[in-house]
Amino acid sequence: MSNALTYPKTIIEFMDTFNTDEKCLEYIASVKYPKGWYCGNCGSKEYGLIKTRRLIKCKHCGYQDSLIANTLMRNTRKPLRDWFWVLYMLSTQKTGLSAMELYRQLDFGSYKTAWTWLQKIRMAMVNPDRTELNGAVEVDETYIQTGKAGKGRKMGGKKAIIICAVEIRETKNDEKLISGRIRLRYIPSASVDNIQPFIRDHIVKGSTIITDGWSGYQGLKRYGYNHIVETIGDPKQASKKFPRVHRVFANLQAWLVGTHRYISTKHLQNYLNEYMFRFNRRYIPKVSFDSLLKIAVLSEPKTYKDFIGIKKPVYINSEV
């Protein structure tokens, strides 16, 4: 069992690297047991794979250990190479995948199964150990359309409030400012009770928060932040005052319309998780799959009922 992997540079190389369940199992094993597997019964490190049942079997005493129990792939009947392909596409392709496209590509028995796969993965696209944003950070909120796609670049149906934080980073030559990492959250309203927990959850104290004059941002200094207020007279000037945040908003809405055509506010946070994952790894797409697979393997499994039964958005790294 080894962590060594020359990362595939193309999707063809990727499919060649993980073209059998045995290769996928070996890689999952290297993720679950980075220091090497050992038998929980006798301590032996010698094992074999039972591919048909996705198990490790101790060669010394016969003890068996499941490789996909307590992972997103638990109880799956699909080949593991299918899971790897979906994880690769979601983590590296700018447009991601819609449930309908996945349903067609992998010949699922039902649309519901494809939809559930994607929701499971989207919930795993937030690393629970991720670090907070720091330095200078733009923060603003906006309405986006949800529901069925309408004409042009908009969706019809209900509006949802999205709040976004974007790090402001300098280039190596300090010649210009660029966007660093982002955080996104769907919030019920733009009130203090929703805005300030978002900031405290995702931005290091001592950072400089740049916002407009909305009352929901008042009082940030008492939490240890430097707060700069940019006055906006004409709403049309907001994108000029906060160019990085509004660029994220525009691209997010275009992606939702172009790829998914329909989303519900109930599951909107999962789509935001997916967008954040790719955006924050846009400069290192070749390691995005590895990052996502590790989170997926170490994540608590979810079922269809877990998704349809939720009453409010599930926030990772949150005090609310």
Judged against a pLDDT cut of 70, whether residue 9 lies above it is answered with: yes
- Quickly state the pLDDT bin for 310 (edges 50, 70, 90): low
Between residues 102 and 236, the one the model is more confident about: 102
CA distance 136 to 53: 50
| DSSP helix/strand/coil, 17 | helix
pLDDT digits (tens, 9 = 90+) for 78-95: 999 999 999 999 998 889
Which domains does the chain possess?
Answer: 13-67 (no CATH), 136-267 (3.30.420.10)
End-to-end CA distance of the chain: 41
The whole-number average pLDDT for the span 306-320 is 61
Between residues 245 and 298, the one the model is more confident about: 245
| DSSP helix/strand/coil, 141 | strand
> Does the reported pTM lie above 0.85?
yes
Tell me the DSSP string of 151-203: STT-B-S-EEEEEEEEEEEE-TTSSSEEEEEEEEEEESSSSHHHHHHHHHHHB
Write out the two tokens for 143. Answer: 């309405």
Pairing relation of β-strands 136-145 and 208-211?
parallel
The whole-number average pLDDT for the span 199-218 is 95
Which 3-state string (H, E, C) describes 44-66? CCCEEEEHHHCEEEECCCCCEEE
Judged against a pLDDT cut of 70, whether residue 275 lies above it is answered with: yes
Mean pLDDT of the chain: 86
Between residues 138 and 10, the one the model is more confident about: 138
CA distance 293 to 282: 17
H or E segment and range at residue 144? strand 136-145
Give the pLDDT score at 317.
54
pLDDT digits (tens, 9 = 90+) for 123-162: 889 888 889 999 999 999 999 877 665 555 555 567 899 9
Residues in the chain: 320
CA distances for 201 relative to 98, 185, 317, angstroms: 29, 11, 6
Judged against a pLDDT cut of 70, whether residue 313 lies above it is answered with: no
The whole-number average pLDDT for the span 258-287 is 88
Between residues 201 and 7, the one the model is more confident about: 201
- Quickly state the pLDDT bin for 1 (edges 50, 70, 90): very low
Q: Best-predicted range by mean pLDDT among 113-117, 172-176, 235-239? A: 113-117
Give the pLDDT score at 4.
45
Closest among 77, 91, 154 to 122, alpha carbons compared: 91
Q: Best-predicted range by mean pLDDT among 122-126, 174-178, 208-212, 266-270? A: 208-212
CA distance 226 to 245: 19
Query: Looking only at Cα atoms, what is the longest distance across the chain?
Result: 75
Between residues 253 and 176, the one the model is more confident about: 253
